[in-house]
Structure 1
Amino acid sequence: MTTRMTTRRKLIAGVLMFLTVLGMQAGGAAAQAWPSRPIRVVVPLPPGGGADYLVRALAEPLRLALGQPILVENRVGADGRLGVEYVSKQPADGYTCLTVGTTNMAHPALFRNMTYDILKDFTPVGLIIRVPFALVVGPGVQAGSAQEYVTMARANPGKITFGSSGIGSPFHLAGELLKSMAGIDMLHVPYKGSGPITTALLSGEVMSAFAPLGPFLQQVRSGKLRALGILNGYRAAILPDLPTLEEAMSLPGFALDAWVGLLAPAGTPRTNIDRLNREIVRIVRDTQFAKEHLVRQSYEPLGSTPQEMGETMKSALALYAKIVREAKIPAE
């Protein structure tokens, strides 16, 4: 009797162990199966913009790499904040991601009632590209260099105008940073996009602008407009002879980088994040992809680790908060 009970217990224990191992294997297989359905990438800006173009260019090679469609969804509103808020509330399962850029890093300093924390509510996937910024002047401006521009601004306080794509935009804040570091006073003129800024520069309506270099490249190369310096902390590959403003004006620490990256809701499995990061890095660093989709937009491939993106975000948040505070830009 005792022997029979012992045998039964051993049999039950063996079955339980088998089921446990089977369950672990099934769980492992399920984890490895990601992705098993389409992945949504939310772009919190209108179709046709830089981030939208970038994600749509990545969609097909990512589909081939991951075996699932990449669905691009534009959720527009509140200067991009609505789309960010939406993704912050999505399941952390690796099937919803969000594009972000430098504009998003300024929002916490510009808006009081934020419904999300860009650091706590998201986990970085990685930086995808960086975008050269430039100080561009119109044909009527006599300054031939960044240093001459600053000298002219010092001699004419409050009379030098600079355009940007809007109050609180990275380009507006770049101008405020230059004002602070160079000790000059200039008048900000907000516009809606690069097209109106180009027209205003060519007509003399505004004297200068802080803007992405790409949309102005044709006019700069033709001599209709002049680029005096790169705002980023590196020289631009498309105009390698153009110095940074830090170099041109001997302003140590002057750098305002622009980039586009990908986030996922906080708590997304690390294996999913790492797989997505790996594929994006491989794609953007591919010479043919860069030539066809990035260089023509004046973008430079980046492909960072999630950790590097996290550190970049923290630095950008701190810098923009400092600029907004020192420029006394009121929060909405």
Structure 2
Amino acid sequence: MRLRRAFSLYLAVAACGLAWTASGPASAQVAPYPNKPITLVVAYPPGGSTDLTGRALGVELSHRLGVPVVIENLGGAGGAIGAQKVANAAPDGYTLLVGANNEVAINKLINAAVRYEAKDFTPIGLIASQPLVLVAAPTAGVKNTGEFLALLKKNPGKYSYGSSGVGTSLHLAGEMVKQRGGVFMTHVPYRGVAPLTSDLLGGNIDFGVFVLSSALPHIRSGKLVALGTTEAKRSAITPDLPALSESPSLKDLDIGVWFVLMGPAKLPEAVQARLTTALNETLQSPDFRKKMEATSSTVPTSAVDVNKFLAAETAKYKNIVKFANIKE
């Protein structure tokens, strides 16, 4: 009798234990997102436009999500190393990417060694965009787009333009000018903006393509001549600078630098929705918009279908890469 009573007590205790075990993990699984720090990967070294955008975004997301947002700079391979880390991360919303043109849409087109694809990410939203600008050295002797095109058509192959590297959006912008304008100039890749600027100021190269924020101080000082910005319309940041598309020969030219927030593929819908809400609130923040304006970037004023946007941008780059036969 005592044995039977003891065994019954054991079964009751065991049942309670099983019930607690079953409810414990379930409670943990339904804990609201987020409940721990988020890592925001920036696939470039500190100080560049992507890094500045990521840091400004990180502050806003932390405020809205209620957890720390830690910036991890993971540069290398044109942004591919940082992007690959996010593609490989667990789809739980705790590892995100502030991505730009190269690592998101261009790298795979020019480098077969890049292992990730668009399907390896969950796009959350467009953060901001910034035009590029085509500039001339004072020694080139041109002051506007018309004079630039006339000079190149009269002297095919004589002139060169520089960018910050093969396959960058700056390189593709230069090739787009050649494609749309029916002109030819030799591309000279530089290891960054600093040596390109030095050669332009010294008259060692004729033309260059820059991110607007990098060239603006030299344009305003009169050391470089701005021929035009590269987006379809003039930038609200520099309404005094014409867009290259204002020239009839370049009317369809539209290319710039943009930044998107992305997570790994198969991000849960609830997590994606939470991040989308936080990003949309950030884009409406006057403080955030002011920070972006200080870097010559423009924040979207209305909703952007990020999937359609990325598909259109990738198709555009594919066309330019094929035209210029760009490979790494």
TM-score range, shorter chain: 0.7 to 0.9
**Matching residue of 1:113:** 113
2:113 maps to amino acid: N
1:143-162 counterparts in 2 under 5 A?
143-162=142-161
* From 290, 304, 308, the counterpart of 1:311: 308
How far is the alpha carbon of 1:251 from its aligned partner?
Answer: 2.6
SS in structure 2 opposite 1:301? coil
**Matching residue of 1:187:** 186
2:233 maps to amino acid: Y
SS in structure 1 opposite 2:140? coil
| Greater mean deviation of Cα atoms: 249-258 or 171-180 | 249-258
How far is the alpha carbon of 1:76 from its aligned partner?
Answer: 2.2
Would you say the 8 A contact 1:161–1:208 is kept in 2?
yes
How far is the alpha carbon of 1:52 from its aligned partner?
Answer: 1.4
SS in structure 1 opposite 2:148? helix
Would you say the 8 A contact 1:127–1:260 is kept in 2?
yes
Q: How many residues align?
A: 305
How far is the alpha carbon of 1:162 from its aligned partner?
Answer: 0.7
Percent of residue pairs bearing the same amino acid type: 36
Would you say the 8 A contact 1:233–1:257 is kept in 2?
no
Structure 2 alignment gaps of length 5 or more: 1-18
Over the aligned positions, Cα root-mean-square deviation in angstroms equals 2.1
How far is the alpha carbon of 1:32 from its aligned partner?
Answer: 6.8
| Cα distance in 2 between the residues matched to 1:57 and 1:303 | 18
2:285 maps to amino acid: D
2:240 matches 1:232: no
**Matching residue of 1:90:** 89
* Superposed CA offset, 1:215-257 (max 9, x none): 1112211222111111112211121132211112443321113
Would you say the 8 A contact 1:232–1:258 is kept in 2?
no
| Cα distance in 2 between the residues matched to 1:239 and 1:79 | 28
1:43 maps to amino acid: V
**Matching residue of 1:279:** 278
1:214-225 counterparts in 2 under 5 A?
214-225=213-224
2:133 matches 1:134: yes
**Matching residue of 2:321:** 324
* TM-score normalized with structure 1 length: 0.86
SS in structure 2 opposite 1:35? coil
SS in structure 1 opposite 2:308? helix
* From 298, 318, 326, the counterpart of 2:296: 298
| Cα distance in 1 between the residues matched to 2:30 and 2:300 | 28
| Cα distance in 2 between the residues matched to 1:60 and 1:78 | 27
Would you say the 8 A contact 1:60–1:70 is kept in 2?
yes
SS in structure 1 opposite 2:316? helix
* TM-score normalized with structure 2 length: 0.87
How far is the alpha carbon of 1:54 from its aligned partner?
Answer: 1.6
**Matching residue of 1:201:** 200
Structure 1 alignment gaps of length 5 or more: 1-18
How far is the alpha carbon of 1:284 from its aligned partner?
Answer: 3.2
SS in structure 1 opposite 2:256? coil
Would you say the 8 A contact 2:39–2:69 is kept in 1?
yes
How far is the alpha carbon of 1:123 from its aligned partner?
Answer: 0.9
1:80 maps to amino acid: G
| Cα distance in 2 between the residues matched to 1:198 and 1:324 | 25
| Cα distance in 1 between the residues matched to 2:30 and 2:318 | 40
| Cα distance in 2 between the residues matched to 1:127 and 1:110 | 23
Would you say the 8 A contact 2:228–2:244 is kept in 1?
yes
| Cα distance in 1 between the residues matched to 2:192 and 2:267 | 35
1:108 maps to amino acid: K
1:324 maps to amino acid: V
**Matching residue of 1:9:** none
**Matching residue of 1:68:** 67
| Cα distance in 2 between the residues matched to 1:61 and 1:170 | 27
How far is the alpha carbon of 1:44 from its aligned partner?
Answer: 1.3
Say if 1:112 and 1:127 are closer, same or farther in 2 by CA, change over 3 A.
same
| Cα distance in 1 between the residues matched to 2:191 and 2:129 | 22
How far is the alpha carbon of 1:57 from its aligned partner?
Answer: 1.9
How far is the alpha carbon of 1:31 from its aligned partner?
Answer: 4.9
**Matching residue of 1:13:** none
How far is the alpha carbon of 1:61 from its aligned partner?
Answer: 2.6
| Cα distance in 1 between the residues matched to 2:231 and 2:51 | 22
| Cα distance in 2 between the residues matched to 1:85 and 1:200 | 34
How far is the alpha carbon of 1:30 from its aligned partner?
Answer: 5.4
Say if 1:31 and 1:298 are closer, same or farther in 2 by CA, change over 3 A.
farther
**Matching residue of 2:10:** none
Ranges of 4+ aligned residues in structure 1 off by more than 6 Å: none
